[in-house]
Amino acid sequence: MSIASRETAEAKPGAKYDRLIAAAKTIPAAATIVVHPCDESSLRGVADAAQAGIIKPTLVGPSAKIKAAAFKHGIDISGFELIDAPHSEAAAAKAVELVHAAKGEMLMKGSLHTDELMRSVTAKTTGLRTERRISHVFIMDVPTYSETVFITDAAINIFPDLDVKRDIIQNAIDLYIQIGIGTSPRVAILSAVETITSKIPSTIEAAALCKMADRGQITGGLLDGPLAFDNAVDPEAARIKGIKSEVAGRGQILVVPDLEAGNMLAKNLAYFAKADSAGIVLGARVPIVLTSRADSPRARMASCAVATLYADARRRRAQTIAA
């Protein structure tokens, strides 16, 4: 049974992540450059994902510090390639260099700050930029919601304009389809209200994005907006408001107005609804796994699984084009 066909089968904690992890175990492990993994949580996450056969890691950072952390916490890294770099910024730069040299299909953040890694990724001449804007997606496993929920962008783009939101949405749609969750995902563009008003600019942008989809500027998904959160995820709320669309009440990708709203939404789901939140950065030459020390082991594994599934889809597409 595919991920898509099982997606609505049950809504118990961890079930959606279990499906993603199981799918990632059936494909080749992705060559993964792990940047500055100098603490227990990052090293354990790497070791667990490698043991599960999801990633094939190369560790980049101060080798003495990495070995000391592994020894202290009883984590076996003897089977991993270790490339020495004196500090976190050097490790990030080296990791990007390794991707350019085709030594890695994805990056994984260790114990450095996100902005340190992203500075190297987004560097104009040496980074990993593409024609697409770089953005972040939270893949949420909410126990009370039957489907996997994407929230974007809650980590990279602070106040995205209309053109940036176009790329944010396209990145999320491409990820949803390519990792095998389903086709034509339902994209709910969120605001405070479901009506268009000049007093709330995000409602106007939501309407414009829907028209962009009508004109083929955004492809692969079903868009509706503006939608308030309740009528984006609850069919009864949508019915009461008289909203009739294929998306309302059944959103799968939730597009937030700005980073502040997205970050608060994701953390509300994590702490109030006990949801797990895996994270991945898209739009660069390779997918990037962003993890936090607060992430559960299951969320870390799911982040690796999603990135591996996406890397595999990109690999197979490249092979098809080459053939």
Pair 160, 217 in one domain: yes
Residue 16 clears pLDDT 90, i.e. is over it? no
Does any domain span residue 319?
no
pLDDT tens figures, 303-321:
999 999 999 998 888 777 7
Do residues 151 and 273 lie in contact, with contact meaning Cβ atoms separated by under 8 Å?
no
Task: Establish if 291 belongs to a structural domain.
Answer: no
Q: Do 149 and 257 reside in the same domain of the chain?
A: yes
Residues 177 and 124 in one domain: no
Percent of the chain with pLDDT over 70: 95
Structural domain of 176: 130-283
Tell me how many domains the chain contains: 2
Do 162 and 269 share a domain, yes or no? yes
CATH of the domain at 240: 3.40.718.10
Does position 224 have pLDDT exceeding 90, yes or no?
yes
In a domain, 279, yes or no: yes
Structure-token pair, residue 147: 């489907």
- Domain stop point among 129, 151, 179: 129
Instruction: Return the pLDDT at 1.
Output: 39
* Domain CATH for 81: 3.40.50.10950
Domain assignment of residue 308, yes or no: no
Check whether residue 139 and residue 259 sit in a common domain: yes
Considering the domain boundaries, does residue 249 fall inside one?
yes
Given a contact cutoff of 8 angstroms between Cβ atoms, the answer to whether 137 and 151 are in contact is yes
Whether residues 119 and 178 share a domain: the answer is no
Rounded CA-CA distance 89/86 in Å is 9
Same structural domain, 279 and 140: yes
Mean pLDDT of all residues belonging to the chain = 92
Residue 302 lies in a domain: no
Do 175 and 270 lie in one domain? The reply is: yes
Is 172 domain-assigned?
Answer: yes
Using DSSP bridges, classify how beta strands 253-255 and 55-61 pair: parallel, antiparallel or unpaired: unpaired
Question: Using one digit for the tens of pLDDT, what is the confidence trace for 137-194?
Answer: 999 999 989 889 999 999 999 999 999 999 999 999 999 999 999 999 999 999 999 9
197/105 same-domain check: no
199 and 113 share one domain: no
Whether residues 123 and 237 share a domain: the answer is no
pTM reported for the whole predicted model: 0.91
Based on the fold, state whether residues 45 and 183 are members of the same structural domain: no
- Among 129, 151, 172, residue at a domain's last position: 129
